Structure 1
Amino acid sequence: MSSANHGEEKHRTRLPAAQFCGSEFSMWSVLKQGIGTELSKITMPVVFNEPLSFLQRVTEYLEYAWLLDKACAEEDPVDRMQYVMAFAVSGLASNWERLGKPFNPLLGETYELRRDGYRIVAEQVCHHPPVSAFHAEADQWFFHGSIQPRLKFWGKSVEIQPKGTLTLELLRHGEAYTWSNVNCCVHNLISGQLWMEQYGTMEILNHVTGHKGVLTFKTGGGGGAARDLHRVEGFICDKDKRRMRFLYGRWTELLCSTDVTSYEEYKAANPAMFGREDLRKKSGEESRGGSASGLSSRKMFSKFNSITSSFRISIDPEAAFEPEEAAVHEEDEDGRGQIPRTSSCYSVEIPNSNTLWEVMPRPEQSSQYYHFTSFALGLNEKNPEALEDLAPTDSRLRPDIRLLEEGDIEGASNEKTRLEEKQRDTRKTRKKKYKDEWKSRWFEQGTNAFTHHSDWLYSGRYWDRNYTDLEQIF
């Protein structure tokens, strides 16, 4: 199953209908239920959604799967690690400007994708809490994991915590790598221009050689730290904690690598670029709101009651971040929300660097289609090849997602409600008849052989195409 044909497959370049904009409705009536809680427990209007299931969104980790082939081809474990780290960062790049919420998968929903020499299957294996499991395979590697996304509303922002472990196995080298993704935050949800950031520390461990890659995703919220928005940097260390390589870049654009000596010389010549961690941490906490902002629940309610009950969903593509501008905060017209403007985090490329990964440009009309990447635009294609031998539980067959993609907001909303009610009724019947003993078809709970923690593991057989006795969830 070779991946050598990267870039040769052709897929659609636009959706059937452009993203719906300009709807006015009461945001507060929906969100007031969710301050400090998980939004997965709240029914959200379909206008908040993008026309993809979360299972389809999971497959976007593999947009740059060719990086795994590069890792497999390297003989040095440090070189393999740097491409694995580039792959981990690249899997987050499609999140940029994607402010629509993917549809929550129904219990037992699946999604499969065969592209560029690999294949992946994902299944919704648990509903409360929501857990999505996936397994991807190619000739030279396996990539698998389970994700339990948690969304919390903090009054002026939404925080997305992608709980779960990702595991990569490089078969030729007999190596396994594990890591977890960092958090994401969408700001100015109620007022001002929406913007997002990803922040935290990502640790990637090679369980065979002991090498560890540690990447810090800088926060861009508040004060001078705005210059760090999207900035990523870190080191590869060996099992004795000696620094072997320095990696840097921006998760929205690229990741580069250089030797430690070149990094240290550059750092000495450009001290202003480094050494401000306390300021970044403090400003990031203030930016994300919630308890860190010092707002009490009473003050938060008072603030919301003073805001108009109608909220216009619109994303201005001209108000996007401008990489060449100096780092400042710019307020929107009524002064309620601040939009960080970013500059390059390095005035010049660090000497002796090589670019490991660079983001693919998005389609020209991406802003009209939910800011989808070219990869994302093809995930819900309904063509004979995509539908061949497809499981009846596949996300492509969901009517609510299909109707939203086609621009039928009312129809999508009605179908979304119908499917949610059908799922609740099925669960009640199952609980009454079988004591709610639902079992996932393609995954089972077990122990991750490398982390020794509980995980959802692929049980095989999906590609045998035996779909008898599958529940009719749509």
Structure 2
Amino acid sequence: MVWTCVEEGWWIYWTKDVEYGAGRQEEKRRPQRRFMDVVKEDMQMVGVIKEDGRVRWRKKLPAEMISRNNFSVWNILKKCIGMELSKIAMPVVFNEPLSFLQRISEYMEHTHLIHKACSLSESTDRMQVVAAFAVSAVASQWERTGKPFNPLLGETYELTREDQGYRLISEQVSHHPPISAFHAESLKEEFKFHGSIYPKLKFWGKSVEAEPKGTMTLELLKHKEAYTWTNPMCCVHNIILGKLWIEQYGTVEIVNHRTGDKCVLNFKPCGMFGKELHKVEGHIQDKSKKKRRVIYGKWTECMYSVDTKVYEAYKKSEKKSGGEAKKLKQEQSCEAEEADEMPDVQETVTVIPGSALLWRITPRPAHSAQMYNFTSFAITLNELEPGMERLLAPTDCRLRPDIRAMEHGDIDLASSEKERLEEKQRAARRERSRDEEEWSTRWFQLGTNPHTGAEDWLYTGGYFDRNFTDCPNIY
């Protein structure tokens, strides 16, 4: 007698095979649980549904991080100074087991901030929470020194999190230049968050600089508001020698296109003595350029908001009591001449009396360093449960054999599969060129962002109807 798991429509039940001579009889037990309680109308399996009906996502990867001690990135990059790295083939050992499309989905880790912004009635209050979300979207990059896998042309990634009230679809819409488009939307039609990203990477001898070209657009549908911004620059130091470390720097301007309000955030470069490392400061101004609130904190830790007058009074008091007499000249660290050793973090955020906490980073799991410095959220992104592949588009990142092999610690298989997939992609490109065919995107098309007037890749809809018959065979 054997109990067998059977899926029938939306239900899972168990059958007991009882042998009677040459024949068989099935005895059905009562349904144990709805196949997708968590996602209801969308057939998307996320995590594992336990007996209490709650979803449990995995808390670690199948294997620990692959050691890079026996590999030299210098042998690969020494001829590439000043070049864009998107066209340079890197050994898989320098990757992390996620596609760049999955890395983009990490913008959604702190979606609760969008929900909070939707619930607020005052535009300045909404702007400061949107600003916190924009900072939180880059927080997962802290200590993430592995390179995500370059998506193949036509590759997709979907993510539905009913517990956080959204679903997301992304697609690699161009290979040269590499462009990734994404679209996330509230399951209750409260917001839309979308954009297209064209990351430009350059090697400067001791560091790799990443310029995240592309605009983020957040629409709060109830308030008929649209916010746009571009992410800050990112730099990975000590590529050749020493401990790798990351900094973000540059000015991020968030615009509310309905009210004319702006939030100007300055991600500060660390400077000569590291006093500004990780710091973010800025302000919210209305359309008449009057400052309404000051935003401050660290992108690796937390963000606060305080009244402008309170902030100015605090700074004057600080100066009188022996604060810094003058600011050190801020330098673009990627181009600085001094050593690239990571400065000690001088202090945590000093909270100004009267400040309101906007956001605090979610602590990483204790074993994060052995898991490519992933957050708890990132650890779940490539999870593939039995039967899930039937529900995904055949182009989904979770089905990529090279990423799957690396996640399981098989570097040789990951390398060979990566080479196979890249050659398959090149062969398909040659065939299209021979037949004079243009690549056709599946879920996004090039258009005009209605809020900025700039060219952008926009979601055309239809993915969640789950008609995948014309998806390309890229794996």
TM-score (norm 1): 0.85
Equivalent residue number for residue 412 of structure 1: 414
Deviations 1:47-69 (A, max 9, x none): 11000000000000000001001
Give the distance between the partners of 1:389 and 1:275, measured in 2 at CA. Answer: 61
Equivalent residues in 2 for 1:32-431, closer than 5 Å: 32-115=78-161, 116-138=164-186, 139=188, 140-223=190-273, 226-271=274-319, 279-281=328-330, 284-285=331-332, 287-289=333-335, 293=337, 338-344=341-347, 346=349, 348-384=350-386, 386-431=388-433
After TM superposition, the runs of 4+ consecutive aligned structure 1 residues lying more than 4 A away are 272-277
Q: Specify the code of the residue in structure 2 equivalent to 1:403.
A: A
**More divergent stretch after superposition (30-39 vs 94-103):** 30-39
- List runs of 5+ in structure 1 lacking aligned partners: 3-7, 295-335
Deviations 1:246-284 (A, max 9, x none): 11100001101111111011110123767856x342xx3
Deviations 1:107-162 (A, max 9, x none): 00000000121000000000000000000000200000000001100000000111
Give the distance between the partners of 2:323 and 2:390, measured in 1 at CA. Answer: 53
Q: State the Cα distance separating 1:343 from its structure 2 match.
A: 1.9
Q: Specify the code of the residue in structure 2 equivalent to 1:390.
A: L
**Which SS does the other structure have where 1:418 is aligned?**
helix
Deviations 1:170-192 (A, max 9, x none): 00000000000000001111112
Give the distance between the partners of 1:386 and 1:68, measured in 2 at CA. Answer: 29
Q: State the Cα distance separating 1:388 from its structure 2 match.
A: 5.0
Q: Specify the code of the residue in structure 2 equivalent to 1:111.
A: Y
Structure with bigger RCO (C-alpha 8 Å, 6+ apart): 1
Contact 1:220-1:230 within 8 A present in 2 as well: yes
Distance 1:156 1:436, change over 3 A: farther
Give the distance between the partners of 1:273 and 1:82, measured in 2 at CA. Answer: 27
Distance 1:113 1:274, change over 3 A: farther
Higher helix share: 1
**Which SS does the other structure have where 2:275 is aligned?**
helix
Q: Alignment RMSD, CA only?
A: 1.8
Contact 1:82-1:257 within 8 A present in 2 as well: yes
Equivalent residue number for residue 457 of structure 1: 458
**More divergent stretch after superposition (33-42 vs 169-178):** 33-42
Q: Percent identity?
A: 56
Q: Specify the code of the residue in structure 1 equivalent to 2:421.
A: L
Equivalent residue number for residue 448 of structure 1: 449
Distance 1:270 1:422, change over 3 A: same
Give the distance between the partners of 2:262 and 2:184, measured in 1 at CA. Answer: 23
Count of residues paired in the alignment = 418
Distance 1:13 1:81, change over 3 A: same
**Which SS does the other structure have where 2:217 is aligned?**
strand
**Which SS does the other structure have where 2:378 is aligned?**
helix
Give the distance between the partners of 2:232 and 2:270, measured in 1 at CA. Answer: 14
